[in-house]
Amino acid sequence: MSTVRVRKVGLVGWGAIGRIVGGALAVGEVGGAELVCVVDNRPLGDTAPAPQVTFEEALERCDLIVEAAGQGVVREWGERVLASGTDLLVASTGALTDEDLAKRLHAAGPGRVYFTGGAVGGLDLLQAARSMGPLDDVRLTTTKLPSTLEQPWMDAELLDRMRTATGPVVVMSGTARDVPVRFPKSTNVAASVALAVGDLDTVRVRVVADPSAHHTRHVVEASGAHGSYRFEVAHLPDLGNPATSQAVPYAVLRSLAALAGRTGQIL
C-alpha cells in the first residue's frame, strides 16, 4: 500500500502573507502539507502556530521552504535552500529581475524552485502562448494608492505630486527589469509577467498612483503573431499592509496545494 507524502513546510516571514498562509496550514486546509516551523527576524512569541527557528534549522526540518518575507530573502538564501535539497516556493518574484540570480536559482539543486503568480492571473496562458512564438508587445499597468508607492529615491516634487493628486499620476515608466528594483514591495507582478513571457525587457510597465484606487489594479496586455491577450484584476489591499493585495496569500496557498499533490487543481 502506497504512503502519501506529506510536505514539511517551513514558512519564512510572519507578515501579511505569512500569517494567512501559516494559519491555513496549521489547521489543515492544505492537504498533504504540514507547517513545521516559522522563520522571522522578529521574536514572535506565541503568535505563530509552529516553532520559530533559525533558517539553518528550517533547512534541517523541511523539504519545502515558502518565502513570504521579501526579495532580500530570495537573494540571500535562495541558492542555499536549493543546494540543501529543499524545494523553494518564491512569492517575491521581483528578486528575479537580477538575471544572474535567476540563472543561479534555475541551475541550483537538487532542490527545485517554484514561483507563485501572486496578485495577477493569466500567466499560465502567457507561458503557453510564448511556446508558440515570441510575444512582441507586452504591457503592464499597475495602479495603487499613492501612500503605498512612496520610495526613498523619490524627489520632493514627485512626492508632492503624489500626495496632492486628485487623479491618477504616472509615477514611473520602464521595463520589468527596472521597475521592481525601484518598488521592491509593490511591483512583484511586473517580474511575474516577465517570468511568464521569458524576457524582462519585453514587458513595458507603468506604475500609477491614484488616490481613488481603493482596489489595487493590474492590467496586462500582450500580443504576438499568434494572438492577443488582455487580463485585468482589481484586488482589495491588505488592511495591515496596503502594498500587498489580499489575494496574494491565497495564491501562495494554491501553489502549495499543487506542490502537495491536491487533485482537481488547474495547472
- Give the CATH number, domain containing residue 43: 3.40.50.720
Do 228 and 137 fall into the same domain?
yes
The pLDDT value given to residue 267: 66
Q: Which is the catalytic residue, given 214, 218, 226, 235? A: 218
The total of structural domains in the chain comes to: 2
* pTM of the entire predicted model: 0.89
DSSP string, 118-158: TT---HHHHHHHHHHS-EEEEEEEEEE-GGGT--TT--HHH
CA 199 to chain centre: 17
The verdict on residue 241 lying in a domain is no
The verdict on residue 21 lying in a domain is yes
Q: Is the dihedral of CA 71, 76, 77, 78 positive or negative?
A: positive
The pLDDT value given to residue 3: 55
Do 62 and 98 fall into the same domain?
yes
The Cα-based distances of 212 to 169, 193, 209, 236 in angstroms read 11, 25, 9, 12
Rg (alpha carbons) of the chain, rounded to whole number: 19
The verdict on residue 160 lying in a domain is yes
Do 109 and 59 fall into the same domain?
yes
Q: Is the dihedral of CA 89, 91, 96, 100 positive or negative?
A: negative
The verdict on residue 242 lying in a domain is no
Supply the mean pLDDT for the chain.
91
CA atoms within 13 A on the CB side of 101: 16
Give the DSSP letter of residue 262: -
The pLDDT value given to residue 1: 42
Do 133 and 51 fall into the same domain?
no
Do 45 and 110 fall into the same domain?
yes
Q: Is 218 a catalytic residue?
A: yes
The verdict on residue 105 lying in a domain is yes
| Residue 158 domain boundaries | 123-235
CATH number at residue 185: 3.30.360.10
pLDDT single digits (tens) 9-67 = 999 999 989 999 999 999 999 999 999 999 999 999 888 999 999 999 999 999 999 99
